[in-house]
Structure 1
Amino acid sequence: MPEKYSSIPIRVNMRIKFELNKTEFIIRIIKQSNNIYQPSYICETDQAAMVYSTPTAAINETYKKLFNVQTRYSGPLVMGFDDEKIAEELQVGVLFFPFKISVHNITVFIFALGSSTLEELNFAGTGYQSSFSHKFRGKQSLIVQSILKDKCQIDIYQQAEKIQTYSGVSPKDVWSKLKILNNIDEKELFGINNRHVIMAIQNYIDKPLCCVTDWSNVQIMIQAFEQCLKRKILVAGLNWNLFFIEWKNQQSSIIELSSHLTWVYSENYEFIDRELQAWR
């Protein structure tokens, strides 16, 4: 079976306006506090502002209220996500967009990347997350898979409430604790055997994370910090971003690293080589 792959060019608070039956519709993407792993959708044309789990439901239910007909529209198509030019424009300046792959007719969403030196995980690592919907204990559930620092974890949600957590040293180990989908390779379920995922992880590893012009971009800077600095900095709660802000605002183009790190460390702090090398 050929691999299926598609990018999902969405972000929280993004609003898309379009016209159906000579009526203006506006779909807004939101993040609900009780389920950070799945986007929700509001059609602002509907004064009731109902929250829906898919753009298709938001559009069709609002259309039905307005015109009292059962016309069906595909949400992603109406919103223009099938148009390559629109998708490319939406991705400009964004380091990573979630995307979906098909694994044995299961749609798996890859919504966060992380890397490691572990070849057996195809170099996926801490921070990597994927999810899909499937029945668990007889009820439709959201299954969230995560690779953490020293384990793999599966969290299961039903109606936005976490009902179960499983942990193991590998995808195979953690999936052995569930009584579902045991006929599918565990790495495939995590998504890390998929060539598009492998390519995305490799790009995540290889791509230069940021340049001076990116230092005001919080999303880019947080990713750079997570990948390059976080595990090598010994001081918890450090205001690391202040260093880059002060450096960018200074008049001189030359900076002496150790002395200027006093912007974020105490004056008498003693650095070890590993920590200084991380800043360099």
Structure 2
Amino acid sequence: MFIQNHKRQLLAPGIIIQKLHYGPFAVSWWVFIKTKSTQNKQTCIPIRVNMRIKFELNQKEFIIRVVDNNWKPGYVCELDTEAIIYSTSSAAINETYKKIFDVKTRFSRPSVLGFDNEIMVEQLWAEVLFFPFQIIIQDITIFVIALGSSDRVEWNFAGPGYHSSFFHKYHGQRSLIYQLIINMEYRIDIYHQENKIQTYTGKSPNDVWTKLNILKSHNGKDLFGLCNQLIIEAIRNYIKIPYCKACDWNNVEIMTHAFEKHLKRRISVVNLNFLLNGNNNQQLLSNFLPTLLLYIQQILNLPTLY
């Protein structure tokens, strides 16, 4: 059965949560589909926490709500008095429908969440600052969660803040391979289900991947996604238009990199950590450096902080 044949309404778009949509399990919070507005190219749609969708089936109003279910999306049908959290939206609607009408039915996730409705998709895109990428390298689907830049040509200018992930077997179990660049060091965290079971670090993509006993025939840069032309171009654009979110103000790693790259030659600051110390922010904003902060905002394209 197709829900798109029934009247649907997005009651609430929900919210984007940094640790979920751009963290280790971000791959669970985004869906890639093709739409007419993108000329049948893949587009990325967020599954937002507390988004609520209403539709009518068999003269009954069903409302699906998205919740955080241990780092992954959970789905509750508000018509279900038991308020069971399901792992998929289709299961939430199918099981609730069966309870009410004692009849089996089957709905697919994109239609339940409204991802086939361009108006609803536009609403879900609102205020999203970064859309992840999905690329395929030798039959491995790599999810690029966030970008970061450096002056390292051999890394195709990727740098701190870059995150990517993919699923692969590790010690015989399907695991999440979460890859990061932190302080010019490459790190791989291995997750089984929601538990981190191993961490590796190295000086380069190839260096860190030599420490894992899997995917030996693959190049480390490829596995990080750094050789893909789409990602290379995205990093180039990221470098041209540096962007920091308001929530990055207290992130010393991101702000230090931005400071070194864009501000160090223009201003004189004795201790950047002092500027980034949350205890000092209010004092700085209200008394000492309002002009400097405005200058930083303009250069780094920061949202207004006060």
TM-score by length of 2: 0.63
* Whole-angstrom distance in 2 between the partners of 1:61 and 1:107: 31
* Whole-angstrom distance in 2 between the partners of 1:136 and 1:228: 31
* Whole-angstrom distance in 1 between the partners of 2:125 and 2:161: 21
- Compute the RMSD of aligned alpha carbons: 3.7
Counterpart amino acid of residue 237 in structure 1: N
Counterpart amino acid of residue 148 in structure 1: I
* Whole-angstrom distance in 1 between the partners of 2:100 and 2:237: 45
Counterpart amino acid of residue 179 in structure 1: N
Per-residue CA deviation, residues 247-276 of structure 1 (Å, 9 max, x unaligned), is xxxxxxxxxxxx73289xxxxxxx9xxx99
Paired residues of 1:153 and 1:174 also in contact (CA < 8 A): yes
* Whole-angstrom distance in 2 between the partners of 1:102 and 1:77: 25
Work out which of the residue numbers 64, 71, 85 in structure 2 matches 1:50: 85
Alignment of 1:98 onto 2:139: no
CA pair 139-67 structure 1, distance change in 2 beyond 3 A: farther
Work out which of the residue numbers 152, 168, 172 in structure 1 matches 2:206: 172
Work out which of the residue numbers 44, 62, 71 in structure 2 matches 1:7: 44
Paired residues of 1:5 and 1:102 also in contact (CA < 8 A): no
CA pair 166-88 structure 1, distance change in 2 beyond 3 A: same
* 1:70-219 mapped onto 2 (5 Å cutoff): 71-207=105-241, 209=243
Work out which of the residue numbers 273, 287, 304 in structure 2 matches 1:234: 273
Distance apart, 1:153 and its partner CA: 0.9
Counterpart amino acid of residue 85 in structure 2: M
Alignment of 1:260 onto 2:288: yes
CA pair 69-86 structure 1, distance change in 2 beyond 3 A: same
Runs (4+) of structure 1 exceeding 6 A deviation are none
Number of equivalenced pairs? 240
Q: Name 2:247's counterpart in structure 1.
A: 222
Q: What runs of 5+ residues in structure 1 fail to find an aligned partner? A: 211-219, 247-258, 264-270
Alignment of 1:27 onto 2:65: yes
Per-residue CA deviation, residues 154-207 of structure 1 (Å, 9 max, x unaligned), is 111112111111111111111122222223332232222233333333333333
* Larger displacement relative to structure 2 (120-129 or 220-229): 220-229
Q: Name 2:54's counterpart in structure 1.
A: 17
What is the DSSP-based 3-state SS (H/G/I as helix, E as strand, rest coil) of the residue aligned with 1:192?
A: coil
Per-residue CA deviation, residues 81-136 of structure 1 (Å, 9 max, x unaligned), is 24444333322332113343333333322222222222222222111111122221
Q: Name 2:13's counterpart in structure 1.
A: none
Paired residues of 2:48 and 2:66 also in contact (CA < 8 A): no
* Whole-angstrom distance in 2 between the partners of 1:244 and 1:65: 59
Distance apart, 1:56 and its partner CA: 4.8
Paired residues of 1:30 and 1:40 also in contact (CA < 8 A): yes
What is the DSSP-based 3-state SS (H/G/I as helix, E as strand, rest coil) of the residue aligned with 2:179?
A: strand
Distance apart, 1:245 and its partner CA: 6.3
Distance apart, 1:18 and its partner CA: 3.9
What is the DSSP-based 3-state SS (H/G/I as helix, E as strand, rest coil) of the residue aligned with 1:234?
A: helix
What is the DSSP-based 3-state SS (H/G/I as helix, E as strand, rest coil) of the residue aligned with 1:177?
A: coil
Give me the identity figure in percent.
46
Paired residues of 2:248 and 2:255 also in contact (CA < 8 A): no
* Whole-angstrom distance in 1 between the partners of 2:254 and 2:214: 37
Counterpart amino acid of residue 156 in structure 1: I
* Whole-angstrom distance in 1 between the partners of 2:225 and 2:97: 36
* Whole-angstrom distance in 2 between the partners of 1:133 and 1:192: 17
